[in-house]
Amino acid sequence: RKEVEQDPGPFNVPEGATVAFNCTYSNSASQSFFWYRQDCRKEPKLLMSVYSSGNEDGRFTAQLNRASQYISLLIRDSKLSDSATYLCVVNENTGNQFYFGTGTSLTVIP
């Protein structure tokens, strides 16, 4: 059973483009949702939490659709520095378990 699924990509986009990633989760009781960013050979770092009402942080917008059990991340005006792997993470709260998607690879091209 795959708790969290993501399109692994890779996504190769030009600078300035808008790119969107989706993620689906299988457990409808999941409580908390996150997007993490992971650079090559580094630890995952929190990009943003995802709230039911949707939330925005600069060029990044996260949305949660509980009915369809998916989470999205939109990156506007892509920068070269956005090149990384983006991990969808879901917390089911029972035992405080965090489930990771496979990650979506993004490369922003000059």
Partner 1 sequence: EPEVTQTPSHQVTQMGQEVILRCVPISNHLYFYWYRQILGQKVEFLVSFYNNEISEKSEIFDDQFSVERPDGSNFTLKIRSTKLEDSAMYFCASFSTRGSNEQFFGPGTRLTVL
User: What CA–CA distance (Å, rounded) separates 46 from 37?
Assistant: 6
Of residues 39 through 78, those in contact with partner 1 by CB under 8 A are: 41-46, 49
User: What CA–CA distance (Å, rounded) separates 101 from 97?
Assistant: 13
78 versus 104: smaller Cβ distance to partner 1: 104
Of residues 20 through 39, those in contact with partner 1 by CB under 8 A are: 32, 34, 38
- Strand 60-65 relative to strand 70-75: parallel, antiparallel, unpaired? antiparallel
- Kindly list the residues in this chain that would bind partner 1 in the complex (CB under 8 A): 32, 34, 38, 41-46, 49, 87, 89, 91, 95-103
